[in-house]
Chains A and B, each alone.
Chain A
């Protein structure tokens, strides 16, 4: 019997793994603040992952005829090391790149960053969190001086009288989290902003709140309009703004140009609704005697070319109402991947070292280099964000080899057709995975790794709380942990830097590396976690209780004040036109996680959602001559996908939706746009212009 957490999303539901009456290991929920004893079908069936029939149990090498042969670990690691050496000798250290994932444990994420910077000494490392967390992270750092998705425990939401939820479908992505919205729904204060009437939008039905089905890509304009109303109607928390913020004047002037009627003509949300929502949020704010209000963003609002600015606008609205750090109030970003929080703190990002230190900060380099026992000058500089990294693969000045850990780029990257070609064109592609994912199937080497219930480690959940992941069973013979793989490569590449393979040892090193950084884990230990302590970072010392709530007294900026930054909408990079008259938005379905590499292998989840679909409004269906379940082709200037039509009045007539968990012809990321936010490097997954037609 082992107490651990779910392998999937950032809610990290607590679960127990135990053998059932049939002797087979099964997962069941444990009571825990974030999931309150609930888990969804993904969690219930998670133990099936451990028995998936196509588990890889030996290193695979691609043969000249394109098939795979099993080889020994020594053979695989020797050959990879010699090819890496040859490439770096010929083209320099940056000829080898690393791509990580937000599902890796803190220990693995840390070790991967260290491996890249000390063994490979390449500046080219980034990770798939760039696809999901980067804009909220950039905006959080800009405003608050720190980026913790929820700077408060999730359970705090229960007391709110109003919650503005933009672009998050948590009823599908992390269903047990819905429980925390019970209180605000009782108050009628749940406002869901989404072009679709998603499962989450439906939570606002029956007087529980309201759903704003805005035009895709106009969240920023909506937020400017709400802020306009708050300031114009004198609803702002002037004392708070005076004492705790900078930049109000710029923001006030920038929203003066976004009066409600103008906002209505862009977003499709009428001025009466806009005023009502602004007043509802204000009434719930502490300054007006309310019990509390929250503004929360998800990927729907963030995955845009102006995603960082959209989150900034959400933060500006929250600041105008005095929410961040206020009683029972705040701004938060709903993190997606299991370790989406920890994964972005410990060195997988192109510009970061562990503890959320910046790689171009000499003091940060000095500190981390000392922990690693290397010369600070030997550390590489800033790399480039994920989309740019992928764009450079195989180019004259770009990496010739790539290590992929915990990511399935072929399915999850924007404009995935092009990315697939770039991966194919590499001199060396090494993929660490437990299943033959679509990306693994392009690799020169596939290295089989342990999965969640076979390993020890820590994960940092969406609320910044550090959790223990525990092993319930031994990995299959032939499988190695990523820590072992990196150590084996380090040795073969002649690195003198120690790469420990025991997770606890790695975590203790991570604690030292993060000490004094923005995300300070110094005081968090396996012993404290195993004793049941609830530890939220920053936790600078073993006798420190951790920090469940940030910002009560000050923000993490040099002068302790939040910075308000005026922002301007840029609009979709790929907007509607005569030959692409329909918007495409993408998202998730409840039974699947991320690229589906795991959940599509679980029979019950596969049966619940066996294939992609294209959701479209009856009016659009009628115009296209679609009557029921025909296959439709959705095409952009980049590529197309084909999936079955699903006619539903839950979506706007000018928009289609497709889930992104599926591969092959049904891969929606063949269609999506790789244009990125200039600040965060996050791609614009959430809106592009397409044509829709019956597939013949």
Chain B
């Protein structure tokens, strides 16, 4: 604690998790004891990284990505942290020490660059022209600009980022090949059958998928990419390559500071680093006992948990990082896919119901455990996907026959009406005044033999007037049936179906 009595928290990284953490501290810190400083390396205002593929697709304006600066915290942009001085409890920015009581690493991850021939320059060397990862606004802007002059693009990686980038580029009119070493698209999120259907769905958009294929080399001339070579010897021409083949936790600062680093910065369930309890790590850079987040939702959960722990000393439950079955909602123009929770291959003993409709590139799968929906996969069924996703993990939502989960259920009541002739007598014709068809028939029989007379007698049509045409139709039908009746038999016989033997 410093002289003024406030507790200084320095956050390295102004990404979605770092910003969220600062917000959560402000929310929890009612006494105003904490002073939070967020250091962002990029010059841009904090932004929503999840929407970068929307920029690539041209579906979002750059300004719409900017996130709110966290209330009650200071944000410094363009502030690159050079090192951590654990002894002095300070980080060094532009050769100036910035002291902390708690340091939170939210440095995120960088796009993985496969070191194959053609991409074998050092990690600090620029990538060849036309080759991009997709982690930052600069990457997305570079890809968008390159797409203007590109005819063929190759996306390396068949995960959500790869598919979204491919669909986005396709929307810009670029022909796209997707290359993945996995056998099907989104292999972490989907079983082979829906993965295959997804490939067909993107193929309909003009995107070719090459599975079971690894990138062997990248060819370029004048430092601009010309194509890729796959491990089976095939070559694909390309003037734009997007590397969407995973992310590497950004751990350089932690390593240099002597903290324990494996795949990411190693932290315990309390999100504190193993060698320095004053330093924490959250989000994509952190390796918790259950893994690395990789998605924003668990990162946000960690932000919240750590904020509460620092402010309230609350020993919250460990935030589990779900590696398999984390909710995945594809943001790809032209394809709707949501997968979350368990799937057929990981269902264990749970009940799996599947609807496969290859013709329509549609696949729906629900996994039910007792009275809870514990997994869902919805391809090409966006409305069902959204109605199922709000039920996922909630107690007591599963119908007695879970098959009903596969059919839309909300707001699907019958439409009343029918023709004036066939509608049952008890049907309400005028809601405003509670008038049924039977009331109208009775009024007609009582001598109210016009629309105006029916309105005066029953008050039908005198509210919102929405039933006027229906009342007119009933009057017309009564007129005709009366004429028939006059010609033959009694009135009621022509209007009511004769029930034999009744």
Contacts and interface: CB of A to CB of B under 8 A. Distances in A.
Interface of A: 29, 36-41, 44, 171-172, 175-179, 196-197, 199, 201-202, 205, 211, 213, 215, 228, 231-234, 250, 252-257, 259-262, 264-273, 566, 576-578, 581-582, 590-591, 608, 617, 619, 622-623, 648-654
Contact of B432 (A176, A256, A576): A176
A256 B66 contact: yes
B412 interface: yes
Interface in B382-398: 382-383, 385-387, 389-391, 394-398
Nearest to A231: B64
A213 B463 contact: no
B382 A29 contact: no
B431 A622 contact: no
A177 B463 CA distance: 9
Contacts of A172: 431
Given A178-B466, A250-B68, A259-B54, A171 B434 contact: no
B465 A581 contact: no
Nearest to A202: B415
Contact of A622 (B66, B400, B434): B400
B410 A232 contact: no
B410 A268 contact: yes
Nearest to A255: B64
A271 B69 CA distance: 26
A624 B59 CA distance: 45
Interface of B: 45, 47-48, 50-51, 54, 59-61, 63-69, 327, 329-331, 336, 338, 371, 382-383, 385-387, 389-391, 394-401, 404, 409-415, 431-434, 459, 462-466
B291 to A, nearest CB: 22
Contacts of B400: 619, 622-623
A264 B51 contact: no
A652 B411 contact: yes
A256 B51 contact: yes
A317 to B, nearest CB: 14
A581 B396 contact: yes
B394 A40 contact: no
Contacts of A176: 432, 463-465
B48 A256 contact: yes
A272 B386 CA distance: 10
Given A196-B411, A267-B386, A271-B382, A262 B329 contact: yes
A175 B463 contact: yes
Given A261-B331, A270-B382, A41 B397 contact: no
Given A38-B463, A213-B410, A171 B397 contact: no
> Which 4 pairs from chain A and chain B are nearest by CB?
A650-B413, A213-B411, A581-B396, A178-B464
Contacts of B382: 264, 270-273
Contacts of A36: 465
B386 A41 contact: no
Contact of B410 (A171, A202, A581, A653): A653
Contact of B463 (A41, A253, A256, A273): A41
13 contacts: A41-B432, A171-B431, A177-B464, A197-B412, A228-B64, A232-B54, A232-B64, A265-B386, A272-B336, A578-B396, A650-B412, A654-B394, A654-B397
B394 A576 contact: yes
A651 B390 CA distance: 15
A259 B51 contact: yes
A66 B47 CA distance: 67
B111 to A, nearest CB: 21
Contacts of B47: 256
A654 B387 CA distance: 11
B64 A268 contact: no
A589 B462 CA distance: 18
A336 B50 CA distance: 42
Of the listed residues B54, B386, B397, B404, the one surrounded by the most CB atoms of chain A closer than 10 A to its CB is B386
Given A653-B399, A653-B409, A654-B397, A252 B63 contact: yes
A2 B256 CA distance: 89
B411 A264 contact: no
A259 B385 contact: no
A41 B434 contact: yes
Contact of B464 (A175, A211, A253, A619): A175
Contacts of B464: 38, 40, 171, 175-179
